[in-house]
Amino acid sequence: MTPHALQLIADYMMPAFPASRSDLGFLFGTRHGVDQFCEAAHALWQDGMFERLLVSGGPTAGQATAEADVIGERLLRLGVPESALILERDATNTGENVRFGRARVAEHMDLSAIRSVVVIGKLCSTRRYLMTLQRHWPGLRMSVCPVNYFGVPAERWHEHAEFRSRVLGEFGKIPDYLALDFLREIDGCAPYPQLTGWGTPS
């Protein structure tokens, strides 16, 4: 794969939406890099980037305990108050994170007052989070605090086996997800780049 193709993929899958003060923080559940995710969320809360944080994630990966509970407990230990947390414990995919999470937020906040969200999630999944929000919770001003737990700089994603696998795996699924209306393209962003022979970067 050419350097140009690698850059097109990186620009599309990991767009820059710098974190900004928002009406809501939204941490997408994970079993990977939990400490890094919680430290990022705690830092944003300390900086006043949000007052309420939605943590969405159910009992995934064969684990009985919901991702939201694991992350929530860690955030409490770091000093985020329980009153700041909204835990959604049933979602098992990104669409459910947004749909179930939105419903859970509605139990605690006036949805009409939420006009902006700062996303905390895996760097390699940035595009999917934003496109899923665009599909299931449109109209929000979106920003992102991407968490890179791979141990290499983002610009070297293609040199790290797991990082490369995750980015290319997600890149390959986007057209089907768009066709199924799981996702919507993000307003103002470049469309999906049409590449050939991108399966194995060199």
Sheet with 141-147: list strands edge to edge. Answer: 85-88, 53-56, 24-28, 116-122, 141-147
Instruction: Tell me the residue length of the chain.
Output: 202
Alpha-carbon dihedral sign for residues 41, 124, 18, 96: negative
In this structure, whether the domain defined by 16-152 belongs to CATH 3.40.50.620 is answered with: yes
pLDDT at 197: 60
pLDDT at 152: 96
**Where exactly are the structural domains of the chain?**
16-152
pLDDT score, position 201: 41
* Single-letter code of the amino acid located at 138: P
DSSP characters over 126-146:
HHHHHHHHHHHSTT-EEEEEE
Residue pLDDT tens, the chain, 202 long: 899 999 999 999 999 999 999 999 999 999 999 999 999 999 999 999 999 999 999 998 788 899 999 999 999 999 999 999 999 999 999 999 999 999 999 999 999 999 999 999 999 999 999 999 999 999 999 999 999 999 999 999 999 999 999 999 999 999 999 999 999 999 888 899 988 665 544 3
> Does the predicted TM-score (pTM) go above 0.75?
yes
